Amino acid sequence: MTRTTNGSGPVSVQANTLDGTATAGLDYISVNTNLTWAAGDFTPKFVIVPIIDDNIGELDETFAIELVNANGEAQVDPNASSATVTIIDNDSSFSFDSGTYTVDETIGNASITVIRLGLTNTAASVEFFTQDGTATAANGDYSPDQ
């Protein structure tokens, strides 16, 4: 943040983070800080927001920083009072697209969808296995691990 006027007194503004698709405490550490300039000070001030590397493959996420409560001879520019920050994910993970699937036994195969999230510019694989529920491999309800 930069002071842009020649005011004679000290000024300050509050900077706050706001959740978007990113969640404070899970993806980044929430910030609520005052930025202060002394009279004649035009030095840029920085808002430091710690990012949490969660080791979970997910889509890129965003949060916002807003400027509020200007004090002294300062005002918050309504056209530039917030900024969006995008956290680019560096992990990869796999998940099913659903927690349950239903298939008619006359179909012959159950098609289970696996989704890859996060980092996708490298090769990756996942192993799977089947486990009996009310349907059992021993009774011929399904063929395991094919």
The whole-number pLDDT of residue 27 equals 96
Strand order, beta sheet including 61-71:
32-37, 11-19, 61-71, 82-87
Tens digit of each residue's pLDDT (9 = 90 or more) over 79-125: 999 999 999 988 888 889 999 999 888 888 888 999 888 777 788 88
In a shared domain, residues 24 and 64: yes
pTM score over 0.75: no
In a shared domain, residues 17 and 68: yes
Task: Work out how many domains the chain is built from and give that number.
Answer: 2
In a shared domain, residues 50 and 117: no
For residues 100-119, b (16+ Cβ closer than 10 Å) or e, as one string?
Answer: eeeeeeeeeeeeeeeeeebe
Write the DSSP symbol of residue 51: B
Which CATH number do you get for residue 71?
2.60.40.2030
In a shared domain, residues 18 and 72: yes
In a shared domain, residues 46 and 77: yes
The whole-number pLDDT of residue 68 equals 96
The whole-number pLDDT of residue 3 equals 53
Mean pLDDT confidence for 40-68:
92
d(C-alpha 15, C-alpha 123), whole Å: 41
Provide the residue range defining the domain that includes 112. Answer: 92-146
Tokens describing residue 14: 């509050």
Instruction: Among 87, 108, 128, give the residue marking a domain's end.
Output: 87
The whole-number pLDDT of residue 145 equals 67
The residue type of 37 is: W
In a shared domain, residues 76 and 22: yes
Instruction: Among 72, 87, 102, give the residue marking a domain's end.
Output: 87
Domain contains 55: yes
In a shared domain, residues 16 and 59: yes
Cβ(118)–Cβ(55) under 8 Å?
no
